[in-house]
Structure 1
Amino acid sequence: MSETSDLLAAIAGTGRDTVRGGYSRPVFGPAERELVEWCAGELDRRGLQPETDRNGIVWAWWNPNGAPLEGAVVTGSHLDSVPGGGAFDGPLGVASALRALDLLRERGVDPARPLGLAVFPEEEGSRFGVACLGSRLLTGAITPERALALKDPDGNTFADVARAAGFDPAGFGRDDEALARVGAFVELHVEQGRGLVDLDAPVAVASSIIGHGRWRFSVHGQGNHAGTTLLEDRRDPLLAASRIVVAAREVAAANPGTRATVGRLQPVPGGTNVIASRVDLWLDVRHPEDVVTAAVVAEISRRAAELAAGEGCTVEVREESFGGTVDFDPALAQRLTAALGGAPVLATGAGHDAGILASHVPTAMLFTRNPTGVSHSPEESCTDDDAELGSVALADVLADLLA
């Protein structure tokens, strides 16, 4: 095993999901908190002093020359996961950041400015429905009032869960002082597609993140008894919801380059012998052109209203989050590419904290090869050799930026 893989092996048992397979590490849950403690311990062992800010972001600084923190180079990722996710989405970036720091010290790098390591909470949005919640709060991309009112699947508000985890809800929100410390941000992440497999390359530099958003469709019908209600008397929102799922696929297929997904559907009350009174479904839509994304969502919403009415139901549509297409800082991307001797450049359809930070500070990303090309699944993968090559590449670009 490589040193990077050794770091990941230490957390391989944390948050295993025996039902779904893979890992389930929701933000502020026991598994995610255990990983945060693991990361803090690794930082302590390297002589760094981790601090958790008022938005739940963990920061630590390598600053041997005592330079001002403003304008530092920062790297890092996240430790939360989707339900039943893979082992590398997020933790690989954190482990690679730790390993890169070790490599910089081994090389005797004398940084002209500080190096920061950061871990962002709720990147996946799997618990509270809004992706990159920590970086959105940091930058002001979401108001604290809206964030604190978000609810998890069990009905717990973000405010209540955060308070139970030791945070003061009044402290959440834009943090200009923390932002000022970030002069450049470089995030390493396992690739969530087949780009590097097809290129037969271990590492790539990101060019952009395509625009994407999440919308919640609530289909309202009439709850009733499954055994006593004739078919012709039903107003079944689950039937309407199932047709909306198919319509989303049809609308996306009619607009090349669009990705539309319904990955979560929740009937209320959810009994086997009960006709649901309401069904909530969550739609994820992505396209490189934001105007196309808007048009696709509008058409799906129109079709949803028609399909719901056909079952005697109604539908409400609410945007939960949206981020337009992000083009990473071209000068920084070119510098990374040069530092890596001409590494390939790839766009991605996956969202990241780097994409939120990009409108505030120069931001770049590195991708490490995923031989299966599968992500958000237990089949996600990264070889020991590629994990180490990714850490070496991260160390190379950080050394260049710190010079």
Structure 2
Amino acid sequence: MDSVSTLLDSIDGVGRDARRGGYSRPVYSAAESELREWFTAEAGRRGLAVESDRNGILWAWWDVPGIGRRGSLVTGSHLDSVPGGGAFDGPLGVASALAAVDLLRGRGVQPNRSLAVAVFPEEEGSRFGVACLGSRLLTGTLDADRARSLTDADGTTFADASRAAGLDPAGLGRDDEALGNIGDFIELHVEQGRGLIDLDSAVAVGSFVLGHGRWRLSVRGQGNHAGTTLMADRADPMVAAAQIVLAVREAARRQDGARATVGRLTPVPGGTNVIASRVDLWLDVRHPDDAVTAALVETIHGKAQKAAAFEGCSVTLTEESFSGTVAFDPALQRGLANSLGGVPALPTGAGHDAAVLAGVVPSAMLYVRNPTGVSHSPEEYVEREDADAGAAALADVLEDLL
């Protein structure tokens, strides 16, 4: 029986990013594909039957003879990462699910329904810009035609990337058969904040996920020569973009409970001696109240229009994705808390596949303490003892639900 840390140690070298630090494992990259192969091998070692569905989700099945798969208990997470991310965001949930299977078998558990460990692709949205892409396709909350047309930074469409990964792009989209196999879904994840540090607990049950979305602000000006264009003659979208970044911070600070971030900014054409013709900024906004999120985005858009106009530029706002605030299934939450002896409940501002699935099937989450309080960064961490505690908690929950 492997510990969670042993499993994670075995993939420690996959997708290391020498430039950013941490790991870069975008969906269907060589690194993420290697991790999918690792998962398939580890599941096979445990006698689980591994399948890939038409949306690229991996399912490792502990089948119960004579019962079938309808209404099964499902756990799992993702293996892709943000650029330069930590070692635990995603893989912790997958490794813990495998370790929980070992624990259940070691306890002699005889399931009364089938159990599956699932791995969802493109949870982070780091390659194609839409978070939880696999679970959104599965549930039909993302239009398949839109998904097929998404492009990465190199111009590769999601349809082409899916085809290269062995999928038929025509088959992407809502999968009622796969959804019917999920009776309950439990996702374990590293906590992406310091809630468990403050609560002095290794594990918590998820209560709700803040509403959040991603928008692209495109500022257009006049591309020109950096050496021959006088300062008074410029319509520089980079200057407007800088003002917009500051406006985003100020608008979010004025709204209690809000988070707003510009995490990526891309000038076009991007030359050192070139005044950009366009600058794209990607905006992430989150708040527990969806109406407040929408109002904050409109406020930011208005400030962006003023900043762009002052520099002789224009700006457009495009919504790329949005998920409203999601409360996890109350009965399932209570069941998890009872199984674990009343561990604390914890909300989060981080999005997860479980939040997408919650709109269709009963879903819940477990969080494992991160002693740094830092995530989406190489400093993300989980103590070995806490990782074991998380796997044991997941096994306890699965045993009660089985």
TM-score (norm 2): 0.99
Match of 2:8 in 1: 8
Q: 2:67 matched to 1:67? A: yes
**Residues 181-330 of structure 1 mapped to structure 2, 5 A cutoff:** 181-330=181-330
Taking the aligned partners of 2:148 and 2:279, their CA distance within structure 1 comes to 24
Match of 1:91 in 2: 91
Match of 2:29 in 1: 29
Taking the aligned partners of 2:10 and 2:67, their CA distance within structure 1 comes to 33
Would the aligned equivalents of 1:2 and 1:385 in 2 still touch at CA under 8 Å? Answer: no
Cα deviation per residue 1:346-396 (whole Å; 9 max; x = unaligned)? 000000000000010000000000000000000000011000000000000
Would the aligned equivalents of 1:61 and 1:115 in 2 still touch at CA under 8 Å? Answer: yes
SS of 2:334's partner is helix
Q: Residue 64 of structure 1: CA displacement?
A: 3.5
Match of 2:378 in 1: 378
Match of 2:17 in 1: 17
Q: 2:68 matched to 1:55? A: no
Letter in 1 for 2:280: D
Cα deviation per residue 1:132-165 (whole Å; 9 max; x = unaligned)? 0000000000011001111111121111111122
Cα deviation per residue 1:299-340 (whole Å; 9 max; x = unaligned)? 000110111011110001000000000000000000000000
Taking the aligned partners of 2:163 and 2:96, their CA distance within structure 1 comes to 31
Taking the aligned partners of 2:380 and 2:193, their CA distance within structure 1 comes to 10
SS of 2:49's partner is coil
Letter in 2 for 1:269: P
Would the aligned equivalents of 2:186 and 2:364 in 1 still touch at CA under 8 Å? Answer: yes
Q: Residue 2 of structure 1: CA displacement?
A: 7.2
Taking the aligned partners of 1:116 and 1:22, their CA distance within structure 2 comes to 29
Q: 2:81 matched to 1:78? A: no
After superposition, the CA RMSD in angstroms is: 0.9
**Which stretch of structure 1 is more off in the superposition, 97-106 or 160-169?**
160-169
Taking the aligned partners of 1:162 and 1:310, their CA distance within structure 2 comes to 43
Match of 2:180 in 1: 180
Taking the aligned partners of 1:66 and 1:377, their CA distance within structure 2 comes to 46
Taking the aligned partners of 1:245 and 1:151, their CA distance within structure 2 comes to 25
Taking the aligned partners of 1:224 and 1:164, their CA distance within structure 2 comes to 39
Q: Residue 48 of structure 1: CA displacement?
A: 1.1
Taking the aligned partners of 2:103 and 2:274, their CA distance within structure 1 comes to 59
Taking the aligned partners of 2:22 and 2:60, their CA distance within structure 1 comes to 29
Taking the aligned partners of 1:374 and 1:166, their CA distance within structure 2 comes to 35
Letter in 2 for 1:146: R
Aligned length: 402
Would the aligned equivalents of 2:100 and 2:392 in 1 still touch at CA under 8 Å? Answer: yes
Cα deviation per residue 1:229-264 (whole Å; 9 max; x = unaligned)? 000111100110110010011111111110000000
Q: Which runs of 5+ in 1 are unaligned?
A: none
SS of 1:50's partner is strand
Q: Residue 65 of structure 1: CA displacement?
A: 3.3
SS of 2:89's partner is coil
Cα deviation per residue 1:35-78 (whole Å; 9 max; x = unaligned)? 00000000111111211111000001112333121100000000
Cα deviation per residue 1:165-212 (whole Å; 9 max; x = unaligned)? 211110100000000000000000000000111111100000000000
Would the aligned equivalents of 2:64 and 2:112 in 1 still touch at CA under 8 Å? Answer: no
Letter in 1 for 2:225: H
Taking the aligned partners of 1:365 and 1:307, their CA distance within structure 2 comes to 41
Match of 1:364 in 2: 364
Letter in 1 for 2:332: L
Would the aligned equivalents of 2:221 and 2:276 in 1 still touch at CA under 8 Å? Answer: yes
SS of 1:296's partner is helix
Taking the aligned partners of 2:99 and 2:267, their CA distance within structure 1 comes to 45
SS of 2:320's partner is strand
Taking the aligned partners of 2:48 and 2:382, their CA distance within structure 1 comes to 28
Q: Residue 345 of structure 1: CA displacement?
A: 0.5
